[in-house]
Amino acid sequence: MNSDDIRPDDERRSKNSPARFIAKEILNGIENLIQEAQANTRPLEVDPFRSRLFELFVTAEGAGLIKDETQVSASSDFDEDADELDLSADSLCRLLARRWGLDMAAREAQALQTRLPADQLERMRLLWSVMRMWIEWSYAWRRWAEFHASPDTSTAK
């Protein structure tokens, strides 16, 4: 008997929901993409990495997994095992930083007043690139309708 067998049905369903599965797949896809870019010493801002990252963004947006940055609390707990995964830029980067131990390494480096090791610093830079592009795409996506309204819906003189 495994631990899934003794969980209440509601808890088992939330942990295995389609949205949660999609969120985990997107997170894994972004992690793999970052590792591939790092292995090839190529920036994420150029194709094929940028296009592939944008496809993951569109999938996350389409699945309703990206919360508006204004609705995400700065003190939110970013946990991969939470019932709902938020894939806003901040959450996404915190989840990956936690996976890789970057959050702890950064705290330790700060406490000891030392530099991050080169490989961890490179991963931090790659996460920053992901976060910046994700924020830009989220902003543009939210404002699309505002700048593409049909002329008949605009205010009459």
Residue 151 domain flag? no
DSSP state of 153: G
Residue 52 pLDDT more than 70?
yes
Q: Is residue 44 part of a domain?
A: yes
Q: 92-118 b/e with 16+ CB inside 10 Å = b? A: bbbbbbeebebeebeeeeeeeeeebee
- The amino acid occupying position 112 is L
Classify residue 27: in a domain, yes or no.
Answer: yes
Residues 101-130: tens digit of each pLDDT:
887 777 777 777 777 778 888 888 999 999
- Asked whether residue 120 is assigned to any structural domain, the reply reads yes
157 in a structural domain = no
- Whether 154 maps to a domain, the answer reads no
- Helices marked H in the chain: 9-15, 18-39, 49-62, 89-100, 102-112, 118-147
pLDDT of residue 148: 76
Assigned domain for 96 exists = yes
Considering its fold, how many domains does the chain have in total?
1
**Residue range of the domain that includes 63:** 3-69+77-144
Q: pTM for this structure? A: 0.73
In a domain, 150, yes or no: no
Contact 87, 27 (CB under 8 A): yes
